[in-house]
Chains A and B, each alone.
Chain A
Amino acid sequence: MEKRLIHLNVNGEDYELYINPKTLLVEAIRDIIGLTGTKRGCESGSCGACTVIVDGMSVKSCSVLAVQADGKKILTVEGLEQNGKLHPLQRAFLDYGSFQCGFCTPGMLMSAKALLDENPNPTKEEIKEGIDGNICRCTGYNSIIRAIEAVAKGQYKEG
């Protein structure tokens, strides 16, 4: 096995990694780059806690090899906040109590952001589909759906 050199742009920062090609993207983000906001909750790509955004698409970082993300732009939960200012989705999650234990929240925020980037005002069904890859055992999802709806309706417009 020979290692490979890859470049990842995570939350606007460029990282150069020299890694074993079997390294998963989630391992690169958590264990090598050290951003532990992205979580892991299963071994079968089912729970969605590892969801990040790669080139604008929500993706399960446990089901992607890090080498496949070479040269791509990756956004993790740590990238949502811009020097102290929370992203509208983060503010909405606070207002609507869209989290409890918080372990699935990073992945949920990423799915929500990717959904709204692609479809600025989704129907309730589309929102449900947008986050049906993320399991949450605490909230029962409705508070999350309400928060996403509020952001889509412009309740958290900047400025």
Chain B
Amino acid sequence: MIRDFTYLKPSSLSEALKMLKDYGEEAKIICGGQSLLILMRQGMVTPSYLMDIKHLDELRYIRFDERNGARIGATATHREIERSPLLRQHYPVLPEMERRLATIQTRNWGTIGGNLAHADPAGDPGPVLVALGASVTLKSLDGERTIPLEEFFVDYFETALRKDEILYEVSIPKPQRRSACTYTKFNLIESDMGIVSCACFVALEDGEVMKDVKIVLGNAGPVPLRARRAEEMLKGKRGDEGLFEEVAKVCSEDSQPVTDIHASEEYRRHLVYVLAKRMLRKAFSEAKVC
């Protein structure tokens, strides 16, 4: 059963920030609550204050402009991202990833801010947004700071958010020409989180030489894991099957998967190799076309 708490309902973002200042230490923020409420019901999280920002429409937007790319408000729901024509046009991988995130009910109510703040290493949006080079803006009474999403994820279920800060917005840089981003996860049930997942971003110089590459592994470490050594092997090279094979092996070696009831470490490493190879090949072929 959920332990009693004092419910705080700020009428605006600024009031929310004030409340965080006062109650920060023992307060938890709830937005969609799709993950938080389960933990509270099982008594694993028992805040004394619960601040609800679900209704703050100020943070509920999806904007895009040619110059500085996309901005998504923290309380935008997964479904809004999944069905956003703007994102479908400029970052097709995002809506495609959201379509396979959990179930339709969870996506209708759950939000992108809540998901990222929950920082589950097996979460779907993390790897994709890191591959797209996204950043997050954190706001508090003292001001605001924007950091790359990669630095936002600190450890298992731990983020860089300070007690008095709110995750305000996710921003994604303008999509580069001749670039593509792909994502997939390995699971037994369509709506499950990935036993292992992998996002790949490839940007080509003219011709077929890879200028910029990002490979991000989900559920293969405490946070979405950049396979940097593997990325370096690709930069400046032409994509080909043999190279992807080799790079995928490096991804597998560099990953830090765990053994749990769903899969052994050995099997997860193999899956990292398979998914990385497939996503690299797909990203490369899509980048060549667009």
Contact = CB atoms under 8 A, between A and B. Distances in A.
B38 A63 contact: yes
Most chain A beta-carbon contacts within 10 A, residue among B99, B108, B191? B108
Contact of B109 (A43, A63, A129): A63
Contact of B79 (A24, A43, A57, A63): A57
B103 interface: yes
Interface residues of B, number: 30
B137 to A, nearest CB: 24
Contacts of B6: 1-2, 21
A63 B108 contact: no
A67 B7 contact: yes
A43 B42 contact: yes
Contact-residue size bin, chain A (C-beta under 8 Å from the other chain): 20 to 34
Given A1-B4, A63-B109, A45 B38 contact: yes
Interface string B28-58: 0010011001101110000000101011000
A132 B104 contact: yes
Interface string B79-107: 10000000000000000000100111110
B2 A22 contact: yes
B105 A65 contact: no
Nearest to A56: B108
A136 B106 CA distance: 18
B190 interface: yes
Contacts of B79: 57
A133 interface: yes
A63 B33 contact: yes
B4 A45 contact: no
A59 B52 contact: no
B147 to A, nearest CB: 29
A65 B33 CA distance: 8
B37 A58 contact: no
A133 B33 contact: no
B109 A21 contact: no
Contacts of B38: 43-45, 63
A111 to B, nearest CB: 7
B50 A21 contact: yes
Contact of B104 (A1, A62, A130): A130
A58 B30 CA distance: 19
A64 B4 contact: no
Interface string A119-145: 000000000011011000000000000
Interface string B4-43: 1111010000000000000000000010011001101110
A54 B108 CA distance: 10
A48 B34 contact: no
Contact of A132 (B34, B37, B103, B108): B103
Contacts of A133: 102-106, 191
A129 B99 CA distance: 9
Contacts of B108: 57-59, 114
Interface string A10-35: 00000000001110100000000000
User: Closest 9 CB pairs between A and B?
Assistant: A133-B103, A21-B7, A1-B4, A57-B108, A22-B2, A133-B105, A60-B105, A59-B109, A58-B105
8 contacts: A1-B4, A1-B6, A59-B108, A63-B105, A63-B106, A65-B52, A68-B30, A68-B54
Interface of B: 2-7, 9, 30, 33-34, 37-38, 40-42, 50, 52, 54-55, 79, 99, 102-106, 108-109, 190-191
